[in-house]
Amino acid sequence: MTVILGLALIALGLVIGFIVTWAFNIGATTGLFVGVLLVVAGAVIGFVVEWLIDEAYRKNRELRRQMGGRTDVRLAPDTGGEGEGSHDMASQTLADFLRQRDEELRELREQIEASDGRLDALQGEFDVYQRTHPDDLTVIKGIGSVYQWKLRDAGVSTLKQLSTADPDQLRRMLDVKNWQRVDVESWIEQARDWAQREQ
């Protein structure tokens, strides 16, 4: 069959080449070249179509194999309707197939629940880590080691806490005098920038 198809394609290419030569009044070599190009293009398209058909057939065969190969429901010879036995067999096959999918789905749900539990535990550990490992507040311009310790003593140990702090309350907590050049508003603004970068 493949040999016949190949010969038919060659003949078709020659015919197309002669038609192109005659219709457009071009040289025989050019016409033959165009014909060969068309045959090659047709062969490639045919190969792709054949591959798609084979792939669909393979998937159908795989589904039949998964269903136990019992998908052919035969007609009863004397009644003209579906045979009771073959109908029951097809129903049982489909029920087994669906039961197997339900079992796989249940296992996947259990795996997801276990993963969610591990994720919750990790989130809890991360929260504890954040509480016990304060941020380096000296990344804020104007905060040195002294003010960092004062802020931590006042309960501000993360950039997020600093970004939401009230400037006046912060001045009172740090006991900042009027003559001191401490720009608390700038600290809060910088902390907001840092907190947004870390999200």
Q: How many domains, the chain?
A: 3
For the entire predicted model, the pTM comes to 0.35
- Quote the longest CA-to-CA distance of the chain: 109
CA distance 127 to 105: 33
At residue 141, the pLDDT reads 92
Q: Which residues of the chain have pLDDT under 50?
A: 71-82
Domain-ending residue, one of 105, 133, 161: 133
The verdict on residue 31 lying in a domain is yes
Query: Would you state the pLDDT for residue 185?
Result: 92
Give the Cα separation of 40 and 28 in Å (integer): 18
Alpha helices (runs of H) in 67-166, residue ranges in sequence order: 84-132, 145-153, 159-163
Q: Which domain holds residue 108?
A: 93-133
The answer on 147 and 124 residing in a single domain is no
CB distance 174 to 198 below 8 Å: no
Boundary (domain end) residue, out of 101, 116, 133: 133
Q: Which residues pair with 75 in a beta bridge?
A: 82
Same domain, 100 and 155: no
**pLDDT for 186:** 93
